Amino acid sequence: MSETDRSLSTTPRLFVGDGLSAGAAITLDQPQSHYLFNVMRRQPGDMVRLFNGRDGEWAARVTAVARKSGSLVAEWQSAPQEQVPDLWLCAAPLKKGRIDWLVEKACELGVARLQLVTTSRTVVDKPNRDRLHAHLVEAAEQCGRTAVPELPEATSLDRLLRDWPPGRALIFADEQGGTPLAQAAAPAPAAILIGPEGGFTPAERDAIRAHASAVPISLGPRILRADTAALAAVAVWQSINSAG
């Protein structure tokens, strides 16, 4: 590791919406400015790492500090844009705390898309999408990802199954059993479907199993919490299908 790489490894990372290229000027919003200048105590001339989910990670230099904003200029690309395995996580919304943890870890594990799915036994009908997206951004900033998982509006299980894209495997973690995930042939493009705290109803389970893209799998002999099951399935799939 070069001295430049070593020094950058300890600099703050921020997600921005602007395009990133050599010489690009970036203006921070108030929360980012507060974090960078009041919490992290950065000054003009200091380096910051920026990413936007499209252009990789860029080393940027602070050029101005204001009371409620700040300016930076991108200097060089410090990391390329990551190649994200085409894996979706489709999961029922969980109670606050549990869903926050699930969202954070799903980002860290490298999912490309997080689709919340309402079911008959879903506890939370209207998840706070803005808050969850903020958790995804924070997780990406912390773990070094250059991509933030997509977070579309929540959808119902019926609509999910009806509009399912052809060619994408629907890996269904079924409490009643199936093929062990490590043995299931379900490479990308794929999605993992996890039910709510109370599980799927018999009618929902039958509808999922009847779907042409469904791949019922087992996660072992124990009854897992919904968030545990989701992350266990993602981790196993990534270990099998990701190239390094």
More confident of the two residues 177 and 239: 239
Nearest to 179 by CA among 235, 226, 219, 229: 219
Does residue 114 contact residue 99 with C-beta atoms inside 8 Å? no
pLDDT digits (tens, 9 = 90+) for 82-120: 999 999 999 999 888 899 999 999 999 999 999 999 999
The sign of the torsion formed by the CA atoms of 140, 143, 146, 147 equals negative
Q: Is the pLDDT of residue 199 over 50?
A: yes
Cα angle, residue 244 at apex, residues 52 and 104 outer, rounded to 5°:
45
- Flag the least confident range among 60-64, 94-98, 225-229: 94-98
Specify burial of residue 194 (Cβ count, 10 A radius: 0-12, 13-18, 19+). buried
Fold of 3-79: Ribosomal Protein L25; Chain P (2.40.240)
- pLDDT value of residue 175: 83
Output the average pLDDT for the chain: 92
Q: Is the pLDDT of residue 5 over 90?
A: no
Strands 47-51 and 57-65: antiparallel
- pLDDT value of residue 7: 62
Q: Is the pLDDT of residue 3 over 80?
A: no
- pLDDT value of residue 2: 44
pLDDT category at 1 given cuts 50, 70, 90 is: very low
| CATH 3.40.1280.10 residue window(s) in the chain | 87-241
Q: Please state which CATH number belongs to domain 87-241.
A: 3.40.1280.10
What's the order of all strands across the beta sheet hosting 25-28? 13-15, 47-51, 57-65, 70-79, 25-28
Percent with pLDDT over 70 in the chain: 96
- As a whole number of angstroms, the distance between CA 60 and CA 62 comes to 7
Return the beta strands (E) in 33-156 as ranges.
Answer: 47-51, 57-65, 70-79, 87-91, 113-118, 155-156
pLDDT category at 130 given cuts 50, 70, 90 is: very high
User: What's this model's pTM, rounded to 2 decimal places?
Assistant: 0.90
> What integer is the mean pLDDT of 22-51?
94
Longest distance between any two alpha carbons in the chain, whole Å:
61
| CATH 2.40.240.20 residue window(s) in the chain | 3-79
pLDDT category at 244 given cuts 50, 70, 90 is: very low
